[in-house]
Amino acid sequence: MSRVGTVEVVDLDETGWLLDADIGEPVPEAWLRHYFAERLAPPAWATDILVYVHGWQTSPDSAYRTTERLLALLHSVLVAAPARYPTLAAKGFSPWCVVVRWPSSSLVTPTGYRRIRDRAHAMGARDGGGHAAQILGRLLGYLDAERADPGAAPVLANRDGQYLHLVGHSFGCRFLCEAVQWSADARLDDTLGWSVTDHSPSRPFTADSMLLFQMAARRDAFLSLFPNILPSEAHDGAPLRGPVVATYSRHDRATGFWHLRAEQQPGIGHSGIGPAPAPMFTTTLLPLDERYPHSALDHRFVNVDASDVYVRGRHLNPAGAHSDHVRAESAHLLLTLADYSR
């Protein structure tokens, strides 16, 4: 059984701190958990929790509508061909989504792109006073702790009954990576799973998959910016149970030409993840009638070439196909990750 799902909202200010949705004022630190509990209690009917962080040039209303469209696509693709996702079809898939909104609007120019790039960095950089990593890390920790008991959920999932998937677009991918890295300093119960994951102490939360659409970061970001997402000698565990999956398209002008001018190398959204602390596997974004082999996604890092699919805007939009990720093929990939997470 599948349902379209519902969307809840988390708003951040320009420093990355949580805003009260009713009054638009920062939530005091002592009230964070109370605020999460009051606004973001995962419903018992949900089999999967999705946390979606939008990217550049996205208004609050547009972020909400995009999330609704993504949930509708997940539902329609699954209902149209349930046999492609046998575990979801057998046990049910009812997603509940939290969209994280942040001030990302600027002129659609290279200058505007750099402005939001700098803002995203400042919001996520703890050494510069940014709070996004801390707030998102706490949010994810709360959601992980509040996942429903298996007896209350429609399916037997992991230790708490519901799966947690991280989905980002553009600069939103950076916030998610910062949040995962932030959690590398605290330990809780072990809940790790995919075969590519070593047995190790867990963190304030564990995510079952991370899907990064057209990430706005340098190709070496997982060495230079996010080195602690995976276990290492210094950090012997990571809160990411599944693979890091990143899409890219040569038609993404924002992370291609503009990113090349700003940072002397193209971004992940244009050319895929480059040097990384673990081996890379590359595949293509498949059409709806092709099933991803488990062997194509069961890796630490997976690049997904979407150049034949993410094409809208390549001629007329100054940013190219940077925002052409809300498609049925994207839902197919996310559904597959959810299916293989079980």
- pLDDT tens for residues 239-259? 677 889 999 999 999 899 887
Q: How many CB atoms sit inside 10 A of residue 34's CB?
A: 11
* Of 86, 4, 90, nearest in space to 50 by CA: 4
Residue 273 has phi, psi (to 5 degrees) of -65, 135
DSSP for 224-272 reads HT-TTSS--SSS---SB-S-EEEEE-TTBSIIIIIHHHHHSS-BHHHH-
Asked if residue 250 belongs to a domain, the reply is yes
Give the confidence band of 198 by pLDDT, cuts at 50, 70, 90.
Answer: very low
| pTM for the whole structure | 0.88
Q: Which amino acid is at 281?
A: F
What contacts 180, CB < 8 A, 6 or more positions away?
Answer: 137, 166, 207, 210, 226, 229, 238, 239, 240
Asked if residue 13 belongs to a domain, the reply is yes
Rounded mean pLDDT, 303-318: 91
Taking CA 234 as the corner, what is the angle to CA 232 and CA 237, rounded to the nearest 5 degrees? 50
Residues pairing with 281 in the sheet: 302
Position 181 scores a pLDDT of 78
Asked if residue 17 belongs to a domain, the reply is yes
47 has pLDDT over 70: yes
Position 159 scores a pLDDT of 43
Number of domains in the chain: 1
Domain that holds residue 247: 6-340
Position 239 scores a pLDDT of 67
DSSP conformational letter for 318: T
303 has pLDDT over 90: yes
332 has pLDDT over 90: yes
Contact criterion met (CB below 8 Å) for 214 and 325: yes
Poorest-pLDDT segment among 31-35, 230-234, 329-333: 230-234
Rounded mean pLDDT, 311-324: 87
Taking CA 108 as the corner, what is the angle to CA 312 and CA 168, rounded to the nearest 5 degrees? 65
Asked if residue 146 belongs to a domain, the reply is yes
Tokens of 328: 């049925």
What contacts 22, CB < 8 A, 6 or more positions away?
Answer: none
Tokens of 268: 């992940």
Tokens of 130: 């940014």
pLDDT tens digits, 124-175: 877 667 898 888 888 888 887 776 543 343 332 344 468 889 999 999 999 8
Rounded mean pLDDT, 31-42: 88
Asked if residue 81 belongs to a domain, the reply is yes
Dump strand ranges (E) for 83-153: 95-101
Asked if residue 173 belongs to a domain, the reply is yes
Asked if residue 1 belongs to a domain, the reply is no
DSSP conformational letter for 322: T
